[in-house]
């Protein structure tokens, strides 16, 4: 593979041999899963050679390396993506065809590794792809959860969560690295001991529990450049007798406790997106992978360097949100307690090494750990944070004398809580938001005090996505068409897509482009038929909203609008209406009641409308079960309209919006997150924008909200739709089923503000925008132009661009080159 000529016969032989040796079977007898394993292992052979070559290069050149610390890596399936990046997809497909094996079916046998919730975890995965493709040395560091994101089943319209045992049959691409295992300690006490020789206090942790962190490495393959980086995810095991110190040996109760701790720690991914759960186990997970990763990183650094005071010259650590912020204190701990640095020296290194990315301004997502829990679980780490806080507050006081209000707002430890974002900002040498608007809101609202004091740290890095997975793999028809028209440079330089602009006035090109979308819609229609049992018309408008379910993302607004359209069609059967298929896909956090009610509502509305023969199929509503990376690829490719309708100011960036754009679906959205930049690139005439601006939303919020009753009592269409939540229309006469959703719009129960997310406020403007979509779609060629313009203008949204900006402005990494 790669530039070595692909040896088709040898590859086929290898697959046969693998099946024979692993399963004592012939190809004909093997199950789909077994064939997947056999093919993957054959592919892995080649990967390993390049992995070794990359390693050797790193050994030789000693380049500066980024360690991307993240609680989540939403990788999706590896086989197809690896083949794409090895530039071997088509050859392998052909080889397997000759053996009577369908590569697509083999790919479908792979469990979808879902070690992430949504955008944040998928961003980490896209970043790893781009880092390897651009030839930058990088490690992803995370947790090897036994159970990833739950599988979603819909039963009677309700979400049911099913455990995702993704490792059941083993993961063919990973390699266990026992030799790099590290001990991680929790709890106990810290004894301070004066050392008369060094004249320093030593801090000794005692009576702790510990677990053994064992790394598993997964290859991250660059596109066509032979670079193979590493995603290192940590498993936890009980410390065996061998590792215990004499003091603890023979302590049975302690041994059992440690065994349980190890089992628990990596058991499951917390399924909360944009939400802080505040669970002790989550803090343990965070410390577990941070401590193991930093210990390993220091060992690796010290193999070549004897002065840890220069760590930042070879190492940079990016913290993906605040979840890995313990890295600040753990690095201080290792540098002081293990490497013998003085506080000031350790602080100097740490603050030149760690950087922080903020992904949300949602108050409920901010991590604040109770001091008692924190200090009990991580006594030495807590001491260090206290000292960081003490010194920082001194600085604030000297900079702003007498301004105790500011001190209170900025402190790291305050009101019995440890504020992780404050720690990350104080220690980080860079603080970035993930879209221009988001960064501006951070600077001027949420993090204003910090921006005032240290403006030089703040910068923006607008998110991006990898075109290798989301076009080349997910939409091969369009990918081939683009290549036919402009060559294949776009695969590693998405800005070249702008060359497609010359085809917007070429009727033949537009016709081909439209036909591809139609074929992709057929593929999705088949998927929907197979998994939902619903027939949808591929000629209808595919209007899609797929993302995590959250109130601020406003799936509720979307479905209320569907209810409104349905009323209109029922009232005016003669009215012209372009057939529309509303497609939803979304997982709700298991404990997020209102999000789950919204899923039930969508399914109830689907039931009523899809079964109403009188509307002649003008509207169909589909809720796609278990939205995940693998079916996302099929969905993006088939979309006509991309719904990005969050309340302005709430969605930090969004990345689904970019995947739709790449696949030629215009945005129907608010001026929020990266939508702003999408509109800037594509032109407002090629998008459908509506709703309050972020300034307007923030203004309302600062003045106690707005009064939804003014709308509810004055707009009869809206009142009718809202009342249908509690009149039994969508609940077989049950008036209570959607009472909470109704109340959330119009009733102020207790402290909650009615319509916190401005759904009624934006409703008319949304309905108007939807009307404009319909009008525009009727002009088939005009629509195709808009869609093609979206593809042609998506260049900015490649994660290759994002990563290059991180490298230029923050990380300053060295390039690596691996010869074939």
CA dihedral 166, 167, 172, 174 (to 10 degrees): 100
Residue 89 tokens read as 């997809």
Min CB(361)–ligand 73E separation in Å: 9
Three-state helix/strand/coil letters over 459-493: EECCCCECHHHHHHHCCHHHHHHHHHHHCCHHHCC
Per rule CB under 6 A, is residue 130 in the interface with ligand 73E? Answer: no
Alpha carbon distance 476, 516 (integer Å): 10
**Site residues (CB under 6 A) for ligand 73E, limited to 420-439:** 434
Per rule CB under 6 A, is residue 655 in the interface with ligand 73E? Answer: yes
CB nearer ligand 73E, residue 41 or residue 272: 272
Count how many Cα atoms sit within 13 Å of the Cα of residue 100 in the half-sphere of its side chain. 7
| CB atoms closer than 10 angstroms to residue 242 | 6
Q: Is 443 a catalytic residue?
A: no
Per rule CB under 6 A, is residue 652 in the interface with ligand 73E? Answer: yes
Alpha carbon distance 708, 738 (integer Å): 18
The sign one gets for the Cα dihedral 410, 460, 274, 698 is: positive
What number of residues does the chain have?
820
Per rule CB under 6 A, is residue 120 in the interface with ligand 73E? Answer: yes
* Best CA proximity match to 546, nearest among 584, 597, 590, 601: 584
3-state secondary structure of 208: coil
Say which residues have a Cβ less than 8 Å from residue 516's Cβ, sequence separation at least 6. 477, 478, 481
* Of the residues 44, 151, 314, 359, which one makes contact with ligand 73E according to CB under 6 A: 359
* Best CA proximity match to 552, nearest among 695, 652, 428: 652
CB nearer ligand 73E, residue 274 or residue 449: 274
Q: Which stretch binds ligand 73E (CB under 6 A): 130-138, 446-454, 498-506, 652-660?
A: 652-660
3-state secondary structure of 277: coil
Which residue is nearest to ligand 73E, using beta carbons? 119
Min CB(478)–ligand 73E separation in Å: 23
CB nearer ligand 73E, residue 434 or residue 791: 434
- Out of 275, 550, 553, 580, the active site residue is 553
Min CB(378)–ligand 73E separation in Å: 20
Per rule CB under 6 A, is residue 80 in the interface with ligand 73E? Answer: no
Per rule CB under 6 A, is residue 643 in the interface with ligand 73E? Answer: no
CB nearer ligand 73E, residue 277 or residue 408: 277
Min CB(645)–ligand 73E separation in Å: 13
Alpha carbon distance 648, 289 (integer Å): 35
Q: Is 547 a catalytic residue?
A: yes
**Site residues (CB under 6 A) for ligand 73E, limited to 670-729:** 673
**What is each CA distance from 585 to 107, 176, 624, 625, 638, in whole angstroms?**
22, 35, 5, 7, 14
* Best CA proximity match to 563, nearest among 731, 775, 772: 731
CB nearer ligand 73E, residue 44 or residue 553: 553
Q: Is 655 a catalytic residue?
A: yes
CB nearer ligand 73E, residue 182 or residue 359: 359
Per rule CB under 6 A, is residue 123 in the interface with ligand 73E? Answer: yes
CA 734 to chain centre: 37
CB nearer ligand 73E, residue 205 or residue 462: 462
CB nearer ligand 73E, residue 274 or residue 543: 274
Q: Which stretch binds ligand 73E (CB under 6 A): 272-280, 394-402, 446-454, 679-687?
A: 272-280
Per rule CB under 6 A, is residue 615 in the interface with ligand 73E? Answer: no
CB nearer ligand 73E, residue 38 or residue 435: 435
CB nearer ligand 73E, residue 311 or residue 662: 662
Residue 452 tokens read as 């005032």
**What is each CA distance from 510 to 434, 513, 639, 706, in whole angstroms?**
34, 5, 17, 46
CB nearer ligand 73E, residue 350 or residue 655: 655
Alpha carbon distance 144, 262 (integer Å): 12
Three-state helix/strand/coil letters over 109-128: CCCCCCECCCHHHHHHHHHH
Report strand pairing: 368-370 vs 417-419.
antiparallel
Alpha carbon distance 243, 253 (integer Å): 16
**What is each CA distance from 469 to 143, 660, 661, in whole angstroms?**
23, 13, 14
Which x/- pattern over 443-472 shows residues binding ligand 73E (rule: CB under 6 A)? --------------------x---------
| Crossing angle (nearest 10°) for helices 8-23 and 32-61 | 120
Q: Which stretch binds ligand 73E (CB under 6 A): 96-104, 266-274, 498-506, 707-715?
A: 266-274
Q: Which residue has the tokens 């591929």?
A: 538
Which x/- pattern over 304-343 shows residues binding ligand 73E (rule: CB under 6 A)? -----------------x----------------------
Min CB(322)–ligand 73E separation in Å: 9
CB nearer ligand 73E, residue 275 or residue 796: 275
- Out of 232, 359, 521, 620, the active site residue is 359
Cβ-contact 184, 288 below 8 angstroms: yes
Alpha carbon distance 41, 19 (integer Å): 10
Min CB(272)–ligand 73E separation in Å: 6
Q: Which stretch binds ligand 73E (CB under 6 A): 61-69, 119-127, 229-237, 393-401?
A: 119-127
- Out of 655, 667, 729, 802, the active site residue is 655
Min CB(286)–ligand 73E separation in Å: 11
* Of the residues 57, 107, 237, 651, which one makes contact with ligand 73E according to CB under 6 A: 651
Alpha carbon distance 467, 791 (integer Å): 11
- Out of 151, 443, 547, 786, the active site residue is 547
Phi/psi for 231 (5° steps) reads: -100, 115
**DSSP E strands, 649-769:** 667-669, 688-689
CB nearer ligand 73E, residue 653 or residue 724: 653
Q: Which stretch binds ligand 73E (CB under 6 A): 49-57, 116-124, 449-457, 516-524?
A: 116-124
Binding-site size for ligand 73E (CB under 6 A) equals 20
- Out of 312, 468, 600, 659, the active site residue is 659
Can you spell out the DSSP letters for 736-756?
STTHHHHHHHH---TTPPTTT
Say which residues have a Cβ less than 8 Å from residue 564's Cβ, sequence separation at least 6. 717, 718, 721, 767
Per rule CB under 6 A, is residue 654 in the interface with ligand 73E? Answer: yes
* H or E element in which residue 522 lies: helix 507-532
Per rule CB under 6 A, is residue 360 in the interface with ligand 73E? Answer: yes
Per rule CB under 6 A, is residue 291 in the interface with ligand 73E? Answer: no
Cβ-contact 35, 101 below 8 angstroms: yes
Alpha carbon distance 546, 188 (integer Å): 46
Min CB(277)–ligand 73E separation in Å: 8
H-state helical runs in 428-475? 436-441, 448-453, 467
Which x/- pattern over 660-679 shows residues binding ligand 73E (rule: CB under 6 A)? -------------x------
* Of the residues 175, 365, 454, 615, which one makes contact with ligand 73E according to CB under 6 A: 365
Min CB(602)–ligand 73E separation in Å: 21
List, by residue number, the catalytic residues.
Answer: 359, 547-548, 553, 655, 659
- In the complex, the residues that contact ligand 73E under the rule CB under 6 A are 117, 119-120, 123, 272-275, 321, 359-360, 365, 434, 463, 651-655, 673
């Amino acid at each position: 593979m790669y530039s070595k000529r692909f040896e088709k016969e040898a590859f086929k032989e290898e697959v046969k041999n693998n099946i024979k040796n692993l399963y004592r079977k012939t190809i004909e007898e093997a199950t789909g899963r077994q064939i997947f394993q056999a093919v993957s292992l054959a592919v892995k052979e080649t990967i390993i050679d390049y992995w070794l070559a990359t390693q050797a290069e790193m050994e030789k050149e000693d380049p500066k390396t980024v360690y991307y610390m993240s609680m989540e890596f939403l990788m999706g399936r590896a086989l197809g993506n690896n083949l794409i990046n090895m530039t071997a997809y088509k050859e392998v497909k052909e080889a397997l065809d000759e053996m009577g094996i369908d590569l697509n079916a083999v790919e479908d046998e792979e469990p979808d590794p879902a070690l992430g919730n949504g955008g944040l975890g998928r961003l980490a995965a896209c970043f790893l792809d781009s880092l390897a493709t651009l030839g930058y040395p990088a490690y992803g560091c995370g947790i090897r959860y036994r159970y990833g994101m739950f599988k979603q089943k819909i039963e009677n319209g309700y979400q049911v969560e099913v455990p995702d045992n993704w490792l059941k049959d083993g993961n063919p691409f990973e390699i266990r690295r026992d030799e790099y295992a590290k001990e991680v300690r929790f709890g106990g006490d810290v004894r301070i001991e004066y050392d008369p020789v060094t004249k320093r206090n030593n801090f000794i942790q005692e009576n702790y529990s510990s677990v053994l962190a064992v790394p598993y490495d997964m290859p991250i393959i660059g596109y066509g450049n032979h670079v193979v980086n590493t995603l290192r995810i940590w498993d936890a095991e009980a410390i065996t007798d061998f590792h215990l110190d004499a003091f603890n040996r023979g302590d049975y109760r302690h041994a059992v406790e440690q065994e349980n701790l190890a089992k628990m720690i990596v058991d499951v991914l917390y399924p909360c997106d944009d939400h802080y759960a505040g669970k002790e186990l989550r803090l343990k997970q965070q410390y577990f992978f941070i401590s193991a990763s930093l210990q390993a990183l220091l060992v690796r650094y010290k193999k070549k360097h004897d002065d840890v005071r220069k760590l930042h010259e070879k190492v940079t650590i990016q913290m993906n949100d605040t979840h890995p912020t313990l890295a600040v204190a753990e690095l201080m701990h290792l540098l002081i307690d293990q490497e013998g640095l003085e506080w000031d020296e350790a602080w100097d290194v740490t603050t030149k090494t760690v950087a922080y990315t903020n992904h949300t301004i949602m108050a409920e997502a901010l991590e604040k750990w109770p001091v008692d829990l924190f200090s009990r679980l991580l006594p030495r780490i807590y001491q260090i944070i206290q000292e960081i806080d003490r010194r920082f507050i001194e600085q604030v006081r000297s900079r702003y004398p007498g301004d105790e209000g500011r001190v209170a707002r900025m402190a790291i430890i305050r009101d019995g809580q440890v504020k992780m974002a404050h720690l990350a900002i104080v220690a980080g040498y860079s603080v970035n938001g993930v879209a221009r608007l988001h960064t501006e809101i951070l600077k001027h609202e949420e993090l204003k005090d910090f921006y005032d004091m240290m403006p030089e740290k703040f910068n923006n890095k607008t998110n991006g996505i990898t075109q290798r997975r989301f076009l080349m793999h997910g939409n091969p028809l369009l990918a081939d068409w683009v290549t036919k028209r402009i060559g294949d440079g776009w695969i590693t330089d998405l800005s070249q897509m702008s060359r497609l602009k010359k085809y917007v006035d070429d009727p033949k090109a537009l016709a081909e482009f439209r036909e591809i979308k139609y074929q992709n819609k057929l593929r999705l229609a088949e998927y929907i038929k197979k998994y939902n049992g619903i027939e949808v018309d591929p000629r209808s408008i595919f209007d899609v909203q797929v993302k995590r379910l959250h109130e601020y993302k406003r799936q509720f607004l979307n479905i209320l609008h569907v209810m409104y359209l349905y009323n209109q069609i029922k009232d005016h059967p003669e009215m012209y209406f372009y057939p529309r298929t509303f497609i939803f896909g979304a997982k709700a956090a298991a404990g997020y009641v209102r999000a789950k009610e919204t899923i039930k509502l969508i399914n109830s509305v689907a039931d009523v409308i899809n079964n109403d023969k009188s509307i002649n199929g003008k509207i169909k509503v589909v809720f796609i079960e278990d939205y995940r990376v693998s079916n996302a690829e099929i969905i993006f490719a088939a979309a006509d309209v991309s719904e990005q309708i969050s309340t302005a100011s709430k969605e930090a960036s969004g990345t689904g919006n970019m995947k739709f754009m790449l696949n030629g679906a215009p945005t129907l959205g608010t001026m929020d997150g990266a939508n702003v930049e999408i509109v800037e690139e594509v032109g407002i005439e090629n998008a459908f924008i509506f709703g309050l601006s972020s300034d307007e939303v923030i203004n309302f919020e600062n003045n106690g909200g707005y009064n939804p009753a003014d709308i509810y009592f004055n707009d009869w269409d809206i009142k009718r739709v809202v009342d249908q939540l509690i009149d039994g229309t969508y609940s077989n006469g049950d008036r209570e089923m959607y009472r909470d959703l109704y109340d959330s719009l119009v009733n102020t129960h207790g402290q909650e503000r009615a319509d916190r997310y401005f759904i009624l406020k934006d409703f008319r403007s949304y309905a108007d925008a939807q009307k404009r979509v319909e009008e525009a779609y009727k002009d088939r060629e005009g629509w195709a132009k808009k869609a093609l313009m979206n593809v042609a203008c998506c260049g900015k949204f490649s994660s290759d661009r994002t990563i290059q900006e991180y490298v230029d402005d923050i990380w300053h990494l060295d390039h690596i080159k691996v010869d074939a």
